[in-house]
Amino acid sequence: MIIAEIGQAHDGSVGILHSYIAALASTGIDAIKFQTHIAEAESSSFETFRIPFSYVDKTRFDYWTRMQLSTAQWTEVKEHCHKVGLEFISSPFSCKAVDVLEEAGVDRYKIGSGEVTNFLMLEKIAATGKPVILSSGMSTLEELDAAVHIFKEKEVELAIMQCTTAYPTQPEQWGLHIIKQLNDRYNIATGLSDHSGDITACLAATAVGAEILEFHVVFDKRMFGPDAKASIEIDEVERLVKGVKQIRASLENRFCKNALAENMSGLKQLFGKSLCINKTLPQGHTVTFEDLESKKPSGFGIAPSDYKSIIGKRLNKALSQWEFLNHEDFSTYD
């Protein structure tokens, strides 16, 4: 499952948000993920900016207010996603946001890294019975255990993502080895929620067994917003999807090396070689290593792998330069 996160890249504009959906529709992704913020329900005057980026919002509360969409707008977003064949996923950041998303008809919930210990909201989401993707960025394994228990207890379809809360995430911070650890620990689908700003992390995660990939997208990394530098540009998404599908096809189609070689007898004959002599040699000449060369194709002379079998043997006839060597060219009494 390949998920492109618009997050806050729309900067509060519903028109820009719809432009993202339209642009992503033909890239081959499976879903688009959003963030649902309701300022009064999730924030207070004590909340500070995660990073200094806003020139138009005096406070973080003001920023969340500007990011806020109405229930009717979220319903339109859902309908647009479905119209272009994409699943509508969102991360709520309050219980009130869950109510809005339920009314809008969200398909699946994503739990952001900072909400893993928000059991109040997790219980509300679990009660909906809808599938959930849980991010692990800020959590200890014990905290993840408790969150996973909430959803498993209600038999909610659950997946868990390795995630590093750093923007952009450096290669040494990707933690790809944790994907398998999470899979072994919880026996559920696992993947990578990426903030590297490059397609390489998702490709590498696919190669180590990730079943779900999520990444931030923007039209241009120079755009305004807290996640722009940690996003990939939309023009890169199609290349990422193609790479993921190629890697998956490679991993899912195993073959026997010996059987493959046996089925390539024609190519082996074409690319193989046969022993020949690199100079004109007289009858009775004792063949040395320095007399030998190998030329395409195979099957016209002794195989190069058997060259030792003729070293020290005498020719029973004269041979011209570049003639192939066969066992009948040697004296039988050698």
Domains, in order of start, for the chain: 2-252 (3.20.20.70), 261-329 (3.90.1210.10)
Q: Which of 201, 207, 205 is nearest to 179 (CA)?
A: 205
Question: Rounded CA gap, 250 and 206, in Å?
Answer: 11
Q: Which of 195, 259, 271, 256 is nearest to 231 (CA)?
A: 195
Tokens linked to 316: 């029973």
Which parts of the chain have pLDDT scores under 70? 50-53, 257, 260-262, 264-265, 333-334
First CA to last CA across the chain, in angstroms? Answer: 68
Q: What angle do the packed helices 119-128 and 141-153 form, to 10 degrees?
A: 30
The 10s digit of each residue's pLDDT in 280-330 is 999 999 999 999 999 999 999 999 999 999 999 999 999 999 999 999 999
Strand 87-92 and strand 31-36: the pairing is parallel
Q: What's the pLDDT at 334?
A: 59
The mean predicted confidence, pLDDT, of the chain is: 93
Q: What's the pLDDT at 331?
A: 83
Q: What's the pLDDT at 260?
A: 63
Q: What's the pLDDT at 261?
A: 64
Q: At a CB cut-off of 8 Å and minimum separation 6, what does 122 contact?
A: 111, 115, 116, 147, 150, 151
